[in-house]
Amino acid sequence: MNIVVAIKHVPSTADELELNDDGTNLDFDEVDFVLNEFDEHAIEQAVLVKEAAGGEVTVVGVDVIEELDGVLHTALAKGADKAAKIVGDIEPPINSHTHARWLADAIGEMGPDLVLTGVQAVDDLDGQIGPMLAAHLDMPYVGVVTGVSASNGSVTVHKEYPGGVMAEFEVSLPAVIGVQAAEKPPRYAPISKIRQMAKSAEIEEIDADEDFEYEGCELRQMAKPVSAGHAEMLEGDAEEVAEKIIALLEDRGLL
Amino acid sequence: MLTTTERILFVLMALILGGLTAILFYGIYKIIRRGRPAPPRENVIPSLIGAAIDVLLQRPMFRSRPVLSVFHAFIFFGFSYYFLVNVTDVLEGFVPGFELIYGGQGPLEPLPDWPINLFNLIADILSVLTLLGMIVFLVRRFITHDKRLEFNEGVLLNPKVQQGWIRYDSLIVGVFILLHVGSRFLGQALRLAENGRPDPFMPFASAASFLFRGLSEGAFTFGIHLTWWLALGLILLFLPYFVRSKHIHLMVAPLNLGLGKPGPRGELDPATPPGSDDDAEPGAKYVQDLAWPRLMDAYACIMCNRCNDVCPAHSQGLVLSPAAVEVNKRWLFNEHFADFAYRGNLPDMPLTQHVISPEAVWACTTCYACVRVCPVGNEPMADIVDIRRRMIIEGEEMDSGIQTALESLAKNGNWFGKGSRARARWTKGLEFKVKDVTKEEAEYLWFVGDTASFDARVIPITQTVANVFQQAGVDFGILGRAERNSGNDVRRVGEEGLFEQLAEDNAAAFGKAQFKKIVTTDPHSLNALRNEYGPFVEENWEVLHYTNLLLELFESGKLSVSKPLSHYRVTYHDPCYLGRYNGEFSAPRKLLEILGVEFQEMPRNCENSYCCGAGGGQIWLGITPEGERPAENRIREALDALAPSSNGAAADDKQLLFVVTCPKDVIMYTDAVKTTGNEGKIEVRDMIQLVEEAISG
């Protein structure tokens, strides 16, 4: 089975985020990029399907800040077979329509049986890459999936609804699946394997269609929430704290 | 004395059984050679001589269990002396008239008496001491059932061991020694009884001879022949068994001590054998993946379980037993001796199924206590690290907490999941600006480490260190966002590749910085920087612990005590990676003396310090195992040591302190004081907090 995983490099939230001067987006010179967490699950799920049913896993993403190689090497160390990056004169931010267009162009050429991608990403909280990929590639789509197993010509996917209801879908292939969580937690990639990949692996480069432009909506402003107040810690032993609470409640006319 | 038939029989037995034993010994040599190459041993001859002296003085034994070690010394000296005694016994059997009693008979007659009398006296006394020692050991194992000879429930043990074969082996060896030494002793007593007079240089045999006075001539002859055969024939019969039995420790242990690991304790052996090609798999999956000294360890092990006594995991009741690692390897060799030794047809038996369970592998704190205490120089901890290395590279499932920590370390260079930009954020609380050594020169590069940089409970302590350094005029700077975790615990978790990456990143930062020495509050960083960064850095900087630097500052007058802290009664915990690994015991104690506190050692101190339970990646574990945690055990030990009744101090209102010099200890012990319900009774303080109080009084 030819499995393709579409991934996205997104700003890391490990550091405090800095905004650019005109407040229209992040200051991309001041943020580190990491692999979108849901895409980590998509990679894990793809490798699990490959291990169970055989096949080949290709990981592809847009090289937004020219640092995608590390992510691709990690995916290869985890069991992916091939890696590709979409390159060009690219500057962040890339909106999800452009992202989906470029990914679809690349993936279409690969002739996939199954396309997996993270159900959403922290950079835009759109959740649109999967559905748009499916539309571009003319394939069915199921999102928010928590497990994929392959059988002849189709895959069975699981999806969890609110209220503790589980659903099972049979999806005919080829198809696009938006992964919420892999069946198992993403595996650890030993650094020495990643370094081996960095030395030996070849990453295919695919040119982005830089003429594509999407003008549907525009991010007007990005700002940090202004803190409305702060918590006050009540010090002292239980008795004292209790008295303070009562005083506070009385003060506000609640007692 | 022997008849011709007896002589022929003895010589035949010696040739056949001796030859068989030689073949078996060659088998052991081949088994040990199945192991992978280890870093080359240097100065082998001086090292073997040193080991021989240590063994003769029984030094390694007295690291623990002093009383039992005395009885062991009896058996050791007796048994060693018996190598000489056996030679004279053979002569007594084969040379007509040759006898040692009364200063020498037969061909010995013309020689001076005194050397023979001295020889007899020593043999006589040692015979009795050996028998005494052996009886004590047998009583301890079979009658009083010393619990220390047992393993925790759930420890992976070879089926033969579960069936009690260590006990059977001990019994066989014990009875052999009793028969061998006892018969020889009785043989001499019979000779004295036959002659009808005691020998003043054989007091014990003379006393025993009175039991046999008045036997018939025939009975004497029979008795002397029988005891000769029980003493010497038994050795021959026993030789082939000896190779299987744990008793072989008496030959392998001195060799193992003499061929011990070169270099500092704090430097792990490489993950792949020195000189191996690039595709060699790191670490160990099968017993033959271990380095040869690890295979020799199995033959040196006497299965005394002293390592279990000091292991924080075993003491907590967990399924890790360092002793079982050696015991299981040994029984694996015994079971498949011919395959390993001669056929080279190595059984497909993963270590994690036959030697140590994965759960036990991940319970090790790498505190080094097992290696330090082992009287025969075994390193079960090295096996564990090698097994971890292979498990990591093969993608075996690992604890989720450890995985999260490693992923954060790979991504951010710290295990707190924070970006590298946040590393120097603790300096914002200071009233002065800390130099960035990558931008301006400083005498000391302060390697801060993850815990001291990021943990909210430790940051105030880190800030205090900075303030005290500043006050004392120390010219210091930090690497700031360029610093990465030192990789000490990463390496001990088995993630060799990540360790290399971190070390390379730090080395690159060092290369950009201008400084003369390195100082750190973190013993784990100190260990890696001092012992394991050799391949990564170009210069060999001196790496100091902050307690060394503080002591220097007091001694040079740059710091001085204005208010002695006599209102504290304190004990001090030696961090594993500062003390046992790097031998730094005195600076913290001298500091406490300078500060004027009342100091009381805990029973387990210095080399014998007890691990807090955080090392080797344990602090990252996602689960908390059952049982009394090592840190809790330690706090109780401290309270006992500091109790007024136990140290002769008068009951007073001095405040009790548990002084630490490691950022991880601050966390572990503050927590343990709470979980043991001892808040208000004892307080955990970092050394720097005491220094600050004393200098600003």
Task: Give the pLDDT of chain A (255 residues) as one tens digit per residue.
Answer: 999 999 999 999 888 888 999 888 999 988 889 999 999 999 999 999 999 999 999 999 999 999 999 999 999 999 999 999 999 999 988 999 999 999 999 999 999 999 999 999 998 898 999 999 999 999 999 999 999 999 888 999 999 888 989 999 999 999 999 999 999 999 999 999 999 999 999 999 999 998 898 888 888 899 888 877 778 888 888 899 999 999 989 988 887
Distances in whole angstroms, Cα of residue B679 to Cα of each of A236, B228, B685: 16, 68, 13
pLDDT of residue B277: 82
Residue with tokens 């079979």: B142
- Residue to substitute from B276, B406, B411, interface A, most A β-carbons within 10 A: B411
Residue A111: count of CB within 10 angstroms of its CB: 9
> Is the separation of the CB atoms in B571 and B601 below 8 Å?
yes
> Is the separation of the CB atoms in A9 and A118 below 8 Å?
no
Q: What are phi and psi of A176, to 5 degrees?
A: -110, 135
CA-nearest residue to B391 within chain A is A190
> Is the separation of the CB atoms in B444 and B474 below 8 Å?
yes
Q: Which residues does chain A have within 8 Å of residue B393's beta carbon, measured at their own beta carbons?
A: 190, 192-193
Q: Which residues does chain B have within 8 Å of residue A185's beta carbon, measured at their own beta carbons?
A: 400, 403
> Is the separation of the CB atoms in B84 and B297 below 8 Å?
no
CA–CA min distance A48, chain B (Å): 13
Per DSSP, what are the bridge partners of residue A205? A85
CA–CA min distance A15, chain B (Å): 5
CA distance B292 to B37: 6
pLDDT of residue B59: 96
Q: Determine which helix (DSSP H) or strand (DSSP E) holds A62, and give its type and residue range.
A: strand A56-62
pLDDT of residue B624: 82
Residue with tokens 């090609």: B277
- For residue B83 the two structure tokens come to 């190598």
Per DSSP, what are the bridge partners of residue B543? B518
Question: Nearest 5°: CA angle at B648, between B645 and B651?
Answer: 55
Rounded average pLDDT per 10-residue block, chain B, 697 residues: 94 97 96 95 94 96 96 96 95 94 93 95 98 97 95 96 96 96 96 95 97 93 96 94 94 96 94 86 95 97 97 97 98 95 88 97 97 98 98 92 96 93 94 96 98 96 98 97 97 97 97 96 98 94 97 96 95 98 98 97 97 96 89 97 73 90 97 95 97 91
* CB spacing of B495 vs A190 below 8 angstroms: yes
> Is the separation of the CB atoms in A141 and A176 below 8 Å?
yes
Q: Is A75 an interface residue toward B (CB < 8 Å)?
A: no
Per DSSP, what are the bridge partners of residue A171? A155
> Is the separation of the CB atoms in A95 and A156 below 8 Å?
no
Q: Which of B84, B127, B121, B82 is nearest to B101 (CA)?
A: B121
CA distance B452 to B519: 13
pLDDT of residue B651: 67
Torsion B642-B646-B648-B652 (CA) sign: positive
Q: Is A155 an interface residue toward B (CB < 8 Å)?
A: no
**Under an 8 Å CB criterion, which residues of B touch A?**
282, 392-393, 395, 398, 400, 403, 406-408, 410-412, 417-422, 495-498, 500-501
Per DSSP, what are the bridge partners of residue A3? A57, A114
CA distance B568 to B652: 11
3-state secondary structure of B536: coil
CA–CA min distance B353, chain A (Å): 22
- CA end-to-end span of chain B: 86
Q: Which residues does chain B have within 8 Å of residue A73's beta carbon, measured at their own beta carbons?
A: none
Amino acid identity, position A19:
L
Beta-sheet pairing, A9-11 with A33-35:
antiparallel
CA distance B441 to B436: 8
Contacts of residue A192, Cβ cutoff 8 Å, sequence gap at least 6? B282, B393, B496, B497, B500
Q: How does DSSP assign A183-227, residue by residue? A: SSPPPP--HHHHHHHHHH--EEEEE--TT----S-------PPPP
- For residue B156 the two structure tokens come to 């992976």
Q: Which residues does chain A have within 8 Å of residue B403's beta carbon, measured at their own beta carbons?
A: 185, 188
Q: Which residues does chain A have within 8 Å of residue B390's beta carbon, measured at their own beta carbons?
A: none
- CA end-to-end span of chain A: 68
- Per residue in A24-66, pLDDT (tens digit) is 899 998 888 999 999 999 999 999 999 999 999 999 999 999 9
Q: Which of A138, A169, A177 is nearest to A48 (CA)?
A: A177
> Which residue intervals of B143-164 are DSSP H helices?
159-162
CA distance B364 to B388: 10
3-state secondary structure of A142: strand
Please check whether the domain covering A2-207 is classified as CATH 3.40.50.620: yes
Q: Which of B122, B309, B124, B112 is nearest to B198 (CA)?
A: B124
> Structure pTM?
0.92
State the DSSP code for B231: I
Q: Which residues of B350-373 are buried (b: 16+ CB within 10 A; e: fewer)?
A: ebbebbbbbbbbbbbbbbbbbbbb
CA distance B251 to B584: 34
CA distance B507 to B25: 47
* CB spacing of A34 vs B497 below 8 angstroms: no
* CB spacing of B418 vs A15 below 8 angstroms: yes
CA distance B630 to A60: 48
3-state secondary structure of A203: strand
* CB spacing of A15 vs B500 below 8 angstroms: no
Per DSSP, what are the bridge partners of residue A222? none
Q: How does DSSP assign B9-20, residue by residue? A: HHHHHHHHHHHH
Residue with tokens 């270099």: B263
> Is the separation of the CB atoms in A27 and A18 below 8 Å?
yes
CA-nearest residue to A32 within chain B is B419
Domain range summary for chain A, segments of one domain joined by +:
2-207
pLDDT of residue B650: 62
3-state secondary structure of A207: strand
CA distance B576 to B590: 19
- Omega cis (within 30) before A174: yes
Q: Which residues does chain B have within 8 Å of residue A32's beta carbon, measured at their own beta carbons?
A: 419
- Residue to substitute from B277, B407, B490, interface A, most A β-carbons within 10 A: B407
Question: Nearest 5°: CA angle at B130, between B124 and B132?
Answer: 105
Q: Is A190 an interface residue toward B (CB < 8 Å)?
A: yes
Q: Which of A103, A10, A1 is nearest to A59 (CA)?
A: A103
> Is the separation of the CB atoms in A159 and A133 below 8 Å?
no
Residue A199 class from Cβ within 10 Å (0-12 exposed, 13-18 middle, 19+ buried)? exposed
- Give the strand order in the sheet containing A154-161: A165-172, A154-161, A141-151, A175-179, A114-118, A2-7, A56-62, A82-87, A203-207
> Is the separation of the CB atoms in B274 and B37 below 8 Å?
yes
* CB spacing of A195 vs B417 below 8 angstroms: no
> Is the separation of the CB atoms in B269 and B200 below 8 Å?
no
Q: Which residues does chain B have within 8 Å of residue A194's beta carbon, measured at their own beta carbons?
A: 497
CB < 8 Å from B in window 22-41 of A:
32, 34
Q: Determine which helix (DSSP H) or strand (DSSP E) holds B350, and give its type and residue range.
A: none
pLDDT of residue A89: 92
Per DSSP, what are the bridge partners of residue A117? A6, A178
Residue B293: count of CB within 10 angstroms of its CB: 22
pLDDT of residue B347: 82
Q: How does DSSP assign B429-480, residue by residue? A: GSSSPPEETTTS--SEEE---HHHHH-TTTHHHHHHHHHHHHHTT--EEE-G
* CB spacing of A187 vs B421 below 8 angstroms: no
pLDDT of residue B648: 61
pLDDT of residue B574: 98
Instruction: Choose among B406, B417, B496: nearest Cβ to A188.
Output: B406
Per DSSP, what are the bridge partners of residue B307? none
> Is the separation of the CB atoms in A179 and A117 below 8 Å?
yes
* CB spacing of A15 vs B422 below 8 angstroms: yes
Q: Determine which helix (DSSP H) or strand (DSSP E) holds A158, and give its type and residue range.
A: strand A154-161
- For residue A78 the two structure tokens come to 């985890």
CB pairs under 8 A between A and B: 50
